[in-house]
Structure 1
Amino acid sequence: MTVNPNRRDILRLGGAVGGGALTAALGLTIAATPAAAASWNSGTWMAGLPDSLSLTQLTIPGTHDSCCVDPTNGTEWAHTQNWGITQQLQRGIRFLDIRLQRFPLNDRETKNWLGVFHDRFPQGSTLRTVLDECRAFFKQSPREALVMRIKNENAGSNPINGVEFLRRMQYHLDGFGYRNLFWTAPRWPRLGEARGKIVLLADFDTSSDSSWDVMHWGNSDLMNIQDHYQDVGTDGKAQAVVNQFDQAWWNQNSPKIYINFTSYAGGKWPKLNADSIMPPVLDYLYARRNEAVHFGIVPMDFPDFHTNVLDLLVAKNFIGR
């Protein structure tokens, strides 16, 4: 069945977020990915896009709590991913959510380290491990770009203050030699400027060093963020995701990136919440699969369980090009 709903119908039906509601209403099936998908490889999907594109003109799939791959590191409540960083990048993820603090043992070896944490739970990884995986990916795929939120998790019995966190970040850039891996200007770059780089979104205090003129997480001049992660229920969360997609849809020329977390931590384990939230997200994206629009950054839990959503997000960057 071929259906060509008008714009008003699509936006109206997009708000009906019961699982399968939109595909049922339009008589669509969701077995196939868009025809445009044939033109890209998920490991190198940015390579063929014009250098002149701003990152604000893209749809960028991402992960939430990107390194939380093992439920033994804090139980299933802290388990948000099955793919590790390298596999995420190979499968098309281009936004990483990295949350850090110091290790309990602040000995000579670890005094400059930052470990990956989910709340108070260490995740068996470090910032250096993450950056080494990103660097290795760029060596294989030099025309890709990443956006990375780096957050001072500041949780548990061993928090790290802003001055010390910034010192350790500075040591990673200069002492460990990662400075050339980052884009640290206070604006969104064009894709040509960002290739082979990690575009830094600093979710930590930089006020102790005036040289850190970077993009800060939550800056309302640069980003519009939806991150309802509890207290709204999975139906409410799905509606929030759809509403944020609509906001991005209506503001295609905005200088901001719309950031739209599909992850939810309330009530049930993250992987079970994703099973409730992602079907209406799929409905919304599938209905718009042929529209030449961009939706910004979309961080997810368990994209391996929802590869159809991941494919639709990447494919948006090729519609009309």
Structure 2
Amino acid sequence: MPDLTIRNLTATALELKLVERFDGKATSGGEHKVKGKISGVFKGSSVAQHVCIKGESRDSRELSLPLGRFETHATDVQAPEPGREVVRLTFEFDGHRYQVDVPGESRRSLVMKKLDDGPHEYTVVYVTNGSCVSIYSSTHLSSWMKELRDEWPLTALSIPGTHNSPTSHVALPSVRCQAVGIREQLDNGVRFFDVRVQVNSDDRKSDLILVHSAFPISLTGTKYFHDLLEDVYSFLDANPSETLIMSIKREGTGKGTDQQLSKHLHQRYAAPDNAKWWTEPRIPRLGEARGRVVLFRRHFNDASLDAEHDGRGYGLDCADWPDNCEDATTGGPGIARVQDFYEMDVSHNIVKKIELARAHLERAAERVCPVDPAPGDENKPFFVNFLSASNFFNANCWPEKIAAKLNPATIEYMALPPRRGRQGPQ
């Protein structure tokens, strides 16, 4: 077996202090593989086989291996034999110890166990394919923006987001895209939300209905935009250091227009809660957007909103969103650069989608934001990288089936060290 590589992808220095080796037994879940011919880093499995420990450790070794912030180190620790071994790693930070078993017993991310009252939380991804242990900070996910500087533009940040964000309810399998609701996503660190609403022609008397394409997002009762906003406002009240970007698009079977949607958003939601919204047609810096919802509109405005903000308009204008695109820009001078290839017609398109997502990560990683950005430097554009796709007429290409392949492949790519010629996310 090759030796382990350990990546400390956190802002805290760690030290590997103890390595223990156990016999193991593969659990019933087996190894999750990405099917199909996938080139480069995507060959082989993306998620380590699930293994449970059998008995006491048969080998224990103390050592001192410093792992600086955002550093990658090769070790002389042999990787566990797949399906038959577990390696327990004990790390130390400022006198506090944390422990993790690789591989783990379940398909969930590996969470480091605190051996005392340590101040940090760490999550680990173990990639069998590269014998790589990658460590991420999961401390204070509900307020992770608190540590970032006010003057940084939002486009300089790596912002986790979800596709068709409110679709976590009991629904058609081709409609449901998320496993948890909006508040839990917020608490888990998600800050970009993709919301689709249905507009009726008499929008003054009806609320916006949450939909996915022509379908309701719940089979147990209509879900409304105002309930989603209650969760959002409650979160922002509890975490004023945070901001979130909300992409709003008109879908569904309602006969309302984009223009009616824009007036409804303005009059019923944003204007009465003006302090909760950022609606200027420019990308804000984090300090300007804290405690607010940044309107990222995928609909056209009514002409009455052209006079807003001293005649500059209303909201970040991405109404000309490119359909089913591999790499395209949207939004006037280029507010966003988008990968949104979603039409799955044959299985090989899943492999294509993986490659497109990887390429877009690399394009985003080429951008560098100065630590002290100059006034007016917005570091545009946003790089929007959807991992989602679907085909209503093919059950093998419904959102959950796509996610089962796309998510592990993307996690593997981001966890492994960059290779020569590959920029990679840092």
Class of the TM-score when normalised by the shorter of the 2 chains:
0.7 to 0.9
* 1:97 alignment counterpart: 194
Is contact 2:165-2:177 (8 Å) kept?
Answer: yes
* 2:406 alignment counterpart: 277
One-letter amino acid of the counterpart of residue 171, structure 1: Q
CA distance in 1, matches of 2:381, 2:45: 31
- Per-residue CA deviations over 1:159-181 (Å, capped at 9, x if unaligned) read 32123222211222367x23221
1:119 aligns to 2:218 (yes or no): no
Report the CA distance shift for 1:223/1:139 in structure 2 as closer, same or farther (over 3 A). Answer: same
CA shift at 1:3, angstroms? 4.3
Is contact 1:71-1:79 (8 Å) kept?
Answer: yes
1:149-164 map, 5 Å:
149-153=247-251, 155-156=252-253, 158-164=254-260
Is contact 2:361-2:424 (8 Å) kept?
Answer: no
1:87 aligns to 2:184 (yes or no): yes
Report the CA distance shift for 1:41/1:100 in structure 2 as closer, same or farther (over 3 A). Answer: same
Q: Percent identity?
A: 25
One-letter amino acid of the counterpart of residue 244, structure 2: L
Is contact 1:98-1:151 (8 Å) kept?
Answer: yes
Is contact 1:112-1:168 (8 Å) kept?
Answer: no
* 1:26 alignment counterpart: 130
| Equivalent residue for 1:56, pick from 134, 155, 158 | 155
1:85-234 map, 5 Å:
85-102=182-199, 111-123=205-217, 124-153=222-251, 155-156=252-253, 158-173=254-269, 177-209=272-304, 210=306, 211=308, 212-217=313-318, 218-219=330-331, 221-231=334-344, 233-234=349-350
1:261 aligns to 2:386 (yes or no): yes
- Per-residue CA deviations over 1:147-196 (Å, capped at 9, x if unaligned) read 1101111x33x232123222211222367x23221111122111111110
Is contact 1:185-1:215 (8 Å) kept?
Answer: yes
- Per-residue CA deviations over 1:183-230 (Å, capped at 9, x if unaligned) read 111221111111100111011111422123321123161110101111
CA shift at 1:141, angstroms? 0.7
Is contact 1:147-1:200 (8 Å) kept?
Answer: yes
CA distance in 1, matches of 2:243, 2:264: 24
Report the CA distance shift for 1:133/1:18 in structure 2 as closer, same or farther (over 3 A). Answer: same
| Equivalent residue for 2:41, pick from 16, 26, 37 | 16
Structure having the higher strand fraction is: 2
Structure having the higher helix fraction is: 1
Report the CA distance shift for 1:19/1:102 in structure 2 as closer, same or farther (over 3 A). Answer: farther
* 1:242 alignment counterpart: 358
Report the CA distance shift for 1:21/1:272 in structure 2 as closer, same or farther (over 3 A). Answer: closer
CA RMSD in angstroms, aligned pairs only: 2.8
Report the CA distance shift for 1:19/1:130 in structure 2 as closer, same or farther (over 3 A). Answer: farther
CA distance in 2, matches of 1:49, 1:136: 22
CA distance in 1, matches of 2:155, 2:39: 23
TM, length-normalised to structure 2: 0.58
- Per-residue CA deviations over 1:243-297 (Å, capped at 9, x if unaligned) read 00011112234421111011111342211110111122011111259xxx996xx
CA shift at 1:4, angstroms? 8.9
One-letter amino acid of the counterpart of residue 18, structure 1: K
Unaligned runs of 5+ in 1: 6-12, 296-315, 317-321
Q: Per the alignment, in what secondary structure is the counterpart of residue 231 of structure 2?
A: helix
* 2:167 alignment counterpart: 68
CA distance in 1, matches of 2:40, 2:336: 23
Count, aligned residues: 273
CA distance in 2, matches of 1:47, 1:113: 33
